[in-house]
Amino acid sequence: MAGYGNGLRRAIMLSGVLALAAGACDANRAGGHDVALKHAHAVATPLHHRSESPVVQFVVESSGDLLIHSPVWERALVLGGGRHYNFAPLLARIKPYVRRADLALCHVGTPMTPASPTSYPVFNTPPELATAIHQTGWRACSTASNHTLDQGGYRQNCRCRTDRTVAVTLL
């Protein structure tokens, strides 16, 4: 795991910078914010030379642990009709807040693998959580936590994620 440290850190930082840049350049998209013009005075220029510069607002929404204990995945199974897990209704009340952000980030505190779900002390969350994350509006989520090594660790989580086509980046 030590060999992954610098490369993983660089990938996370690059992902964040690219996400910030993409959001800042895309202010007119749905859910974006209006850009207002404001007069600004440059320190090095005389007062009679005014320049207009846009005021940019960039909203970052960050959510703490999505820590899926057994009552949560059991409820998601009921919401999925007993055949699959449906976490989306559990996140419905926060969806408008997440969707309004220019950059919405979450933290998934438990691994997601196809194995049976488990709870404390060794977690495993059904991969359908990734679908609900995407449907709620998060576009990137960190996964580094004290449970990262549960269920086979980082490589098992990556394998599970690549088996599903969900447009959310799990870091």
Q: What is the DSSP letter of 44?
A: T
Provide the domain count of the chain. 1
- Give the pLDDT of residue 162: 44
Q: In this predicted model, what pLDDT tens digit does every residue of 31-40 receive, in sequence order?
A: 444 434 344 4
Q: Residue 91 phi/psi, 5° resolution?
A: -105, 0
Token pair in block for residue 35: 């850009």
CA dihedral 20, 25, 30, 34 (to 10 degrees): 110
Overall average pLDDT of the 122-143 stretch: 90
Overall average pLDDT of the 111-132 stretch: 90
Q: Which domain holds residue 121?
A: 2-170
> The whole model's pTM is what?
0.62
Q: Residue 55 phi/psi, 5° resolution?
A: -95, 125
- Give the pLDDT of residue 168: 56
- Give the pLDDT of residue 44: 47
Check whether 154 has a pLDDT greater than 60: no
